[in-house]
Amino acid sequence: TPQQISAILSGIVSLDSQDPASGKKKALRQVLDFACGSGSLLLNVRQRLGKNGIGRLFGQEKNVTTYNLARMNMLLHGVKDTGFEIFHGDTLLNEWPLLREENPAKKVGFDAVVANPPFSYRWEPTDALKEDFRFKGYGMAPKSAADFAFLLHGFHFLHREGTMAIILPHGVLFRGGAEAKIRKKLLQDGNIDTVIGLPPKLFYSTGIPVCILVLKKCRQPDDVLFINASEHFEKGKRQNILLPGHIDKIIDTYQHRKEEERYSRRVSMEEIEENGFNLNISRYVSIALPEPQIDLDEVFETLQTLKNKRAVAQERHNS
């Protein structure tokens, strides 16, 4: 995950979930990244709040080499072995015993969930998974894209007063079928707080633009904030770059729920419902410049003047 995007996610989840405008939380007891890779996102959250502002970091990683790298990374950054727990296993199958508790009284809840799962990952949803407590009531993500399966996994373990920020491809905002049903339920339950569109070419591995979804289980606003930051970047040779000013603008807009023409807008649930629960960012925050207004009377006068000049010139030519 590029450090610039990590900075946005950590900046969002470290703010008070109920009232972001009030500023940063004093501490986060437990932070989860269920597709942690080398652990850079978790370390970014720790850096944002300071080493005393984090209780414990939890990460899960399927690739054994990357899993070992994440544990080394924690130690190299001064995190004590009692301050983190990284588990090697498949998130979609929920292989981590810590997270398999179904009893609400004993279930682990995280103050912040951050993730950059593999985009549109192909998976095999079994009949057993259809009854899984993480997906019950929402339905299953399609075989072709496990994006919503990853999202629902993290969301299930989010504390009632926590914040989740996840990086996903734009397809989750508008694709139909099973994904549309999941998206509709999340919106109707008031769980989707903010949709942030980022510029293309920020990743080394892909040039596609991505979005950040911010989710909460208990929130105050009854609208969805859309931020279209797709044109706010510095162009690089191979990758585009988000400068500190671009990052701060996104976090500040989220924090104070600001509205700005061609950048951000708070959209009512009524309008989203009228659009069939489609969250395509350009539907709500267009970055297209308006066409210049043409004064037809002025154009007509100009044409008449040119016509008269032409007549005078032609008469002079003929003579």
Alpha carbon distance, N-terminus to C-terminus of the chain: 78
Query: Parallel, antiparallel, or unpaired: how do β-strands 158-169 and 110-115 relate?
Result: parallel
Query: Could you give the C-alpha distances from 155 to 104, 152, 192, 310, in angstroms and in order?
Result: 14, 5, 11, 73
Residue with tokens 């269920």: 34
Mean pLDDT calculated for residue range 189-202? 95
Confidence tier at 221 by pLDDT (50, 70, 90): confident
> Using CB atoms within 10 A of its CB, is residue 83 exposed (0-12), middle (13-18) or buried (19+)?
middle
Mean pLDDT calculated for residue range 249-265? 96
**Is 25 a member of any domain?**
yes
Mean pLDDT calculated for residue range 78-88? 95
Query: Could you give the C-alpha distances from 259 to 212, 255, 263, 265, 313, in angstroms and in order?
Result: 18, 11, 7, 5, 56
299 or 51, higher pLDDT: 299
**Is 84 a member of any domain?**
yes
pTM to 2 decimals? 0.89
* CA dihedral sign, ordered 218, 219, 224, 225: negative
Which CATH number characterizes residue 177's domain? 3.40.50.150
Could you tell me the two tokens for 277? 């629960």
- DSSP type of residue 123: -
- Count of domains for the chain: 1
Cite the beta strand spans of 38-187 per DSSP E: 54-61, 84-88, 110-115, 158-169
Confidence tier at 31 by pLDDT (50, 70, 90): very high
**Is 218 a member of any domain?**
yes
**Is 301 a member of any domain?**
no
Nearest to 225 by CA among 263, 264, 255: 264
Confidence tier at 236 by pLDDT (50, 70, 90): confident
Could you give the CA distance from residue 99 to residue 30 in angstroms, rounded to a whole number?
A: 13
Contact indicator for 213, 166 with CB cutoff of 8 Å:
yes
**Is 74 a member of any domain?**
yes
Choice among 67-71, 111-115, 218-222, 247-251 with the minimum mean pLDDT: 218-222
**pLDDT beyond 80 at 280:** yes
> Using CB atoms within 10 A of its CB, is residue 310 exposed (0-12), middle (13-18) or buried (19+)?
exposed
**pLDDT beyond 90 at 205:** no
Q: What percent of the chain has pLDDT over 70?
A: 100
**Is 294 a member of any domain?**
no
Question: Residue 118: its pLDDT value, please?
Answer: 94
Question: Residue 133: its pLDDT value, please?
Answer: 92
101 or 213, higher pLDDT: 213
What is the rounded average pLDDT for all residues in the chain? 94
Q: What is the signed CA dihedral for 57, 39, 168, 144, rounded to 10 degrees? A: -100
Q: What is the pLDDT of residues 104-163, one digit of tens each?
A: 778 899 999 999 999 999 999 988 898 999 999 999 999 999 999 999 999 999 999 999
Residue 83, Cα to own-chain centre: how many angstroms? 27
Q: What percent of the chain has pLDDT over 90?
A: 85
Choice among 58-67, 163-172, 279-288 with the minimum mean pLDDT: 279-288
**pLDDT beyond 80 at 290:** no
Could you give the CA distance from residue 43 to residue 62 in angstroms, rounded to a whole number?
A: 19
Question: Residue 237: its pLDDT value, please?
Answer: 81
Residue type, 100: R
Name the H helices within 116-243: 127-130, 147-156, 178-188
Neighbours of 163 (CB within 10 A): 29
**pLDDT beyond 90 at 188:** yes
Mean pLDDT calculated for residue range 54-69? 96
The greatest distance separating any two alpha carbons of the chain, rounded to the nearest whole angstrom, comes to 103
Query: Could you give the C-alpha distances from 270 to 52, 214, 263, 267, 273, in angstroms and in order?
Result: 43, 20, 21, 8, 5
Confidence tier at 1 by pLDDT (50, 70, 90): confident
Show the domain range for 148.
3-284
Torsions phi, psi for 61 (to 5 deg): -145, 135
Q: Which residues pair with 223 in a beta bridge?
A: 268
Confidence tier at 167 by pLDDT (50, 70, 90): very high
**pLDDT beyond 80 at 269:** yes
